[in-house]
């Protein structure tokens, strides 16, 4: 319960952070994350190296991801238990937003069609 409360303070996540977290269920290195985010978002979301590196060091410091291994010059990261909980909480929050606003958005669209 305690961790739940602690983790809630990170919400809402930025788009970049959310995409980084969902890329790290399995171990992956920095550039791998960039490629994965571009792939799963259909090239809609692209992360700059400054943004990615900043997010990684922050997430690692907050123990939401951890450094699992290194090969050559690359560090591999993976979600911690806390990181998994965070991404699930954010998913639920976002789903709630969509559900609660659907009605309003649909009415707006209907109005637009009538005009």
Residues lying near other proteins in the complex (CB under 8 A) are found at 14-16, 30-31, 34, 46-55, 57-58, 73-75
Cβ 110 to other proteins, closest distance in Å?
Answer: 26
Cβ 113 to other proteins, closest distance in Å?
Answer: 28
Which residues touch 31 (CB under 8 Å, ≥6 apart)?
A: 74
Nearer to other proteins by C-beta: 39 or 106?
A: 39
Nearer to other proteins by C-beta: 39 or 74?
A: 74
- The alpha-helical segments, DSSP class H, found in 1-115 are 2-8, 15-22, 30-40, 49-61, 81-114
Contact 56, 30 (CB under 8 A): yes
């Amino acid at each position: 319960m305690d961790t739940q409360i602690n983790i809630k303070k990170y919400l809402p996540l930025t788009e970049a952070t959310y995409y980084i977290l969902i890329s790290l269920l399995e171990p992956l290195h920095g550039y791998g994350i960039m490629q994965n985010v571009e792939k799963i978002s259909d090239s809609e979301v692209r992360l700059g190296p400054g943004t990615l590196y900043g997010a990684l060091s922050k997430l690692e410091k907050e123990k939401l991801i951890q450094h699992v291994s290194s090969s050559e010059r690359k560090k591999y990261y993976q979600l911690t238990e806390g990181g998994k909980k965070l991404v699930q909480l954010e998913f639920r929050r976002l789903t709630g937003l969509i559900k609660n606003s659907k009605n309003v958005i649909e009415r707006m669209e209907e109005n637009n069609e009538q005009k």
